[in-house]
Amino acid sequence: KRFDSFGIIVLGIAEDKNKHEFSITGVDNVEDIETQIFNDNNNISCLNRPVIQNNDVQISFFQNKTIIQVIIHPEPFNTRPITAFGKAYIRTGDRDRVATKEQLKYFTVESQSEIDTHLLPSTYTIEDLDAESIKEYRKIIEEKGIINTNSQLSDQEFLYSIGVFRKDRLSNSNEYHLTDGGLLFFGKYISITDRFPRFQLDYQQYNSDNSTNWNDRVSAGDMNYPTLNIFSFYNLVLAKIETNIRMVLVKSF
């Protein structure tokens, strides 16, 4: 059984898949099974890191039978994936399936603790960034007085100054490279998906909580918004949210 914030493995329940029914069978040798659970949890040849604590294993009694519940909490992004016997699994449909190489690559990228400042190869340049997004960003922060963008600076120099491009201090070249964060924030959609194939931004508006069909949508990469990055998506969606809030307030009075 799975929940939004955690999952539960239940031992002592049998499923008749043909009838889609469950029955309580109970667990024998409860202490031995509980010991085995913790042994496997702390065995690196079984799991690459422990995933449960003492209070995550609970013994319950139902219909005069004993069942064991094991609570599995979600792992932080920087510790994923968890492997069992050397393999990582993804929940798709009605079962767990071995993760593909592409899915594992996604986990690896996602697990980096400093992904925003990760330096991209020199093949990523300012040409991979959306010029209109940069222009609009410079205008906004100048108007708000957040930073003096200095109109004499070129876009490249400006991007150096705010860390979109950072110096590679681990090599002797000291060249500036585009960062992952800069690409996500200002990048052209096609360039972003070259680096992050699963990149997706999606906003959907419904008439009510019970509606099943949206009446307005902003989705990265579709025909209406083919060039969205995080900055342009934020500007579009923020304007829509503000308009909706004003409409709700007007109707309330």
User: Are residues 164 and 41 both part of a single domain?
Assistant: no
Could you give the C-alpha distances from 192 to 179, 181, 182, 200, 233, in angstroms and in order?
A: 11, 10, 10, 10, 14
User: Are residues 31 and 66 both part of a single domain?
Assistant: yes
Q: Note whether residue 90 is domain-resident.
A: yes
User: Are residues 240 and 188 both part of a single domain?
Assistant: yes
Residue 166 and residue 108 in contact, taking contact as beta carbons nearer than 8 Å? no
Q: Note whether residue 195 is domain-resident.
A: yes
User: Are residues 24 and 44 both part of a single domain?
Assistant: yes
Beta strands in 50-156 (DSSP E): 57-62, 65-72, 89-92, 95-98
> How confident is the model at residue 136, as a pLDDT?
93
Q: Note whether residue 29 is domain-resident.
A: yes
Query: How far separated are the first and last CA of the chain, in Å rounded?
Result: 45
Please name the helix (run of DSSP H) or strand (run of DSSP E) that holds residue 32, with its range, or none: helix 30-41
Q: Given phi > 0 = left and psi -120 to 50 = alpha, else beta, which region is 45?
A: alpha
Assign residue 49 the CATH number of its domain: 3.30.950.30
Could you give the C-alpha distances from 252 to 238, 247, 249, in angstroms and in order?
A: 21, 9, 5
> How confident is the model at residue 148, as a pLDDT?
61
* Rounded-to-integer distance, Cα 49 and Cα 112, Å: 17
Residue that finishes a domain, picked among 80, 110, 140: 110
110-153 pLDDT per residue, tens: 555 566 788 899 999 999 999 999 999 998 888 877 666 566 78
User: Are residues 86 and 191 both part of a single domain?
Assistant: no
Q: Given phi > 0 = left and psi -120 to 50 = alpha, else beta, which region is 49?
A: beta
**86 lies in which domain range?**
7-110
Per the prediction, the chain carries an average pLDDT of 85
Q: pLDDT at residue 3 above 60? A: no
Residue that finishes a domain, picked among 45, 79, 110: 110
User: Are residues 89 and 120 both part of a single domain?
Assistant: no
Q: Note whether residue 2 is domain-resident.
A: no
User: Are residues 193 and 139 both part of a single domain?
Assistant: yes
* Rounded-to-integer distance, Cα 145 and Cα 10, Å: 57
Q: Which residues contact 73 (CB under 8 A, 6 or more apart)?
A: 5, 6, 51, 52, 56
User: Are residues 15 and 86 both part of a single domain?
Assistant: yes
Q: How many domains does the chain fold into?
A: 2
User: Are residues 42 and 166 both part of a single domain?
Assistant: no
Please name the helix (run of DSSP H) or strand (run of DSSP E) that holds residue 190, with its range, or none: helix 189-195
One-letter amino acid at 235 equals N
214-235 pLDDT per residue, tens: 888 999 888 888 889 999 999 9
Predicted model pTM:
0.55
User: Are residues 184 and 198 both part of a single domain?
Assistant: yes
User: Are residues 99 and 141 both part of a single domain?
Assistant: no
Of 14, 46, 12, nearest in space to 28 by CA: 12
Please name the helix (run of DSSP H) or strand (run of DSSP E) that holds residue 136, with its range, or none: helix 131-143
User: Are residues 119 and 236 both part of a single domain?
Assistant: yes
Q: pLDDT at residue 172 above 80? A: no
Residue 220 and residue 193 in contact, taking contact as beta carbons nearer than 8 Å? no
Of the spans 2-6, 69-73, 179-183, 238-242, which averages the highest pLDDT? 179-183
Residue that finishes a domain, picked among 77, 110, 143: 110
* Rounded-to-integer distance, Cα 227 and Cα 221, Å: 6
